[in-house]
Structure 1
Amino acid sequence: MTAPDGVVAQLQELGMSMYEAKAYLALVAAGEPLNGYEVAKRSGVPRSTVYETLGKLTASGATYEVRTDDDTVTYLPLPPASLLDRLRRRYESTLGSLRAALPAIVPPSRVHLIHNLTGRDALLERAGDVVAGARHDLFLSTWPQENVDLEQLVREADARGVAVTTLTYGEDEEIPGHTYSHRLSPPAVVLENLGCRLFVAVADRRECVIGGFVGDDAWGIFSDNPAVVMVAVEYVRHDIAMQLMAEHFPADEVAAFWTDDVDLARLRSDHGFAATALRAGGSDGESRPGGRRRRRGGRSA
């Protein structure tokens, strides 16, 4: 039986070599003891290296030697469930030791990071790191499409006592902590204005991910620069404050102000610029739409 490539690759990520993974899977699939020749034949591991491979598996406890009555050496695998439990215990122990040891040797940071993230998977993975690393507070501005991917990590953060504050563009989403829906402008209008689903995740006022999603594509940054982190937090707080203020005034007055005010119209005139800037990795300011005008009340007659 040929081992599935995906399973082989995953076992490699847990420390086995390619040959070790293939040999182990061949033994699991056999359901009976195999000698080295049979393991090589079933797994595709070269006969010249199969005994060395089986020796390493035996030394690590993933297989056992079984001697027959005629003193032939055969091999049995550690059952998969037991193997996975053993690996989990081993890695948890190692991670616990490193978690205690590594901070002690890290010097104070002299350089703050800002690095680009390209692609949905890369952005959400880094955002997951930020959420998982939160210990005190977590600020999020998210859409339903991204909430699905981060929901479990956010729930785990809430369970360990992190103060979670979320602005969501979804309706009736069961997000833990303090959650506010974006009602001042419907999500469709926001999407039209920005050209993307703008996403923000900030942990402990210490690090953040800011990005934009369009369909299955995405671009953004990770940063632990205090200035970037502060702006990201204040963006989420300000947007939530706007929703709360709007709820305290008559809906028709809010709608009229939002659609008729000249300065608001100017500020919202650069439809799609946010997505363009994120996709391009930033802007030098030369191509920004909309010219400079004096604030109302300061215009000349």
Structure 2
Amino acid sequence: MEGILQQHLKHLGFTELEAKCLFVLSDSGTLTGYEIAKRLGVSRSNVYAALQKLAEQGVVLASKGEPTHYHCVPIDEIGNKIEADLQASIRYVKAHMPKQETERTEYFSLEGDAKVLERLRCELKLVKREALCDLWSEEAELLRGELQYAHDQGVRILVSAVGGADLPEGMLSFPHEREEAWQERSGRKFALLLDRKLAIVGTRGGGQPAKAMLTEHPAMVELLLNNFFHDVVMHELQRDMGEELARRYGQGFSKIVRKYTQD
């Protein structure tokens, strides 16, 4: 039996032995418990116990008489039954699981590309009113579907985009100028402030695992809000007075920065 198929059957709630029994029956048709045990090289008592449970679940048919013969129902029927059972369980859990209203004021960390992207996508789907996003083009593209979904739900979305992000029509956005060397040095930093309540910051790329931190701590929320509006103001000033600002204060306001950072 292929390991990947067995793993997926286990994900559907079957034990390892139950999965093997299902595979043998699907592959060979009607068999007795003795024949299945012989093919699998395991004890008959364990096989009979697994077959009895499968029969109780309605995914295996058992004949009357001795010896008992077993037959696997069509895989489409098994899939439909599992899907219906899962949907019923999900509906019940949603209706009866306690719903906590407490704020997540602790700082929760995530590591790994899959975990980070999954959390970003889930949180974007829960936004009710506003999403302020500071994203590189790579992350904007990966989150494009969730941004579109939120926008379609009437959420106000404003994106500070780096690298010419191609955002869905109707979203407010402005370019955020950053040097490519900055990306290569420390990865692509991103920040999201959702409903002015949940702050998410992290990095992807740069040869390091993706990392993110999320919190509803008021200090971090205010920090991201102020930083985002600072970027909005700077964008407008650069657009209207860019050449004059560079002449008076240096490229990237380097003259001001040196004034307060040099010893």
Common fold: TM-score over 0.5: yes
Partner of residue 19 from structure 1, selected from 17, 20, 25: 17
Aligned match for 2:113, one of 106, 113, 120: 120
Contact 1:114/1:223, CA 8 A, preserved across alignment? yes
- What percent of counterpart residues are identical? 22
| 2:56 counterpart of 1:59 | yes
Distance (Å, rounded) in 1 between the aligned partners of 2:188 and 2:62:
57
Structure 2 SS opposite 1:261? helix
After TM superposition, give the deviation of residue 66 of structure 1 in Å: 4.5
1:146 maps to amino acid: E
- Secondary structure at 1:242's aligned position in 2? helix
How many angstroms apart in 1 are the aligned matches of 2:146 and 2:223?
23
CA deviation string 1:171-196 (max 9, x = no partner): 2523465242425x24515526x722
Tell whether the 8 Å contact from 2:104 to 2:216 is kept in structure 1 after alignment: no
Map residues 95-110 of structure 1 onto 2, 5 A cutoff: 95-104=90-99, 106=100, 108-109=101-102
Change (3 A) 1:93 1:203: farther
Q: How many residues align?
A: 261
What one-letter code is carried by the residue in structure 2 that aligns with 1:129?
C
Partner of 1:195: 186
Q: Equivalent residue for 1:171?
A: 164
CA distance in 1, matches of 2:106, 2:201: 13
2:195 maps to which residue? 204
In structure 2, distance between residues paired with 1:258 and 1:86: 68
How has the CA–CA distance of structure 1 residues 86 and 134 changed in structure 2, closer, same or farther, with 3 Å as cutoff?
farther
**Displacement, 1:228?**
1.7
In the aligned structure 2, how far is the partner of 1:266 from the partner of 1:44? 76
Q: Where in structure 2 are the equivalents of 1:20-169 lying within 5 Å?
A: 20-30=18-28, 32-42=29-39, 46-66=43-63, 72-104=67-99, 106=100, 108-109=101-102, 112-169=105-162
CA-CA distance at 1:242 after TM superposition: 3.0
Give the equivalent residue in structure 2 for 1:239.
Answer: 231
Q: Structure 1-normalised TM-score?
A: 0.70
**1:168 alignment partner, SS class:** strand
Q: Deviations over 1:220-256 (max 9, x none)?
A: 312122322332344334324433443334x544655
- 41-50 or 51-60, which deviates more: 41-50
Q: Note the alpha carbon deviations across 1:120-163, whole angstroms, 9 max, x for none.
A: 23322322332233233322222233334433333333344433
CA distances 1:32-91 after superposition (whole Å, capped 9, x unpaired): 223323433455664331111122122222322356xx7543333343333333333322
SS state at 1:171 partner: coil
The TM-score with structure 2 as length reference comes to: 0.79
1:210 shift after superposition: 0.9
- 3-state SS of 2:105 partner: coil
> Which residue identity does 2:59 align to in structure 1?
A
Following the alignment from structure 1 to structure 2, what is the Cα–Cα distance between the partners of residues 44 and 151?
51
Unaligned 5+ runs, structure 2: none
**Alpha carbons 1:143, 1:169 under 8 Å: kept:** yes
State the 1:198 CA deviation: 0.7
Seen in structure 2, the aligned counterparts of structure 1 residues 172 and 146 have a Cα distance that, compared at 3 Å, is closer
Judge conservation of contact 1:210–1:232 (CA < 8 Å) in 2. Answer: no
Amino acid at match of 1:74: H
CA distance, structure 2, for counterparts of residue 110 and residue 101 of structure 1: 21
Do the aligned partners of residues 111 and 261 (structure 1) sit closer, same or farther apart at CA in structure 2, a change above 3 Å counting? closer
Change (3 A) 1:11 1:111: same
How big is the shift at 1:92? 2.6
Residues 128 and 255 (structure 1), Cα distance of their counterparts in 2 relative to 1, 3 Å cut? same
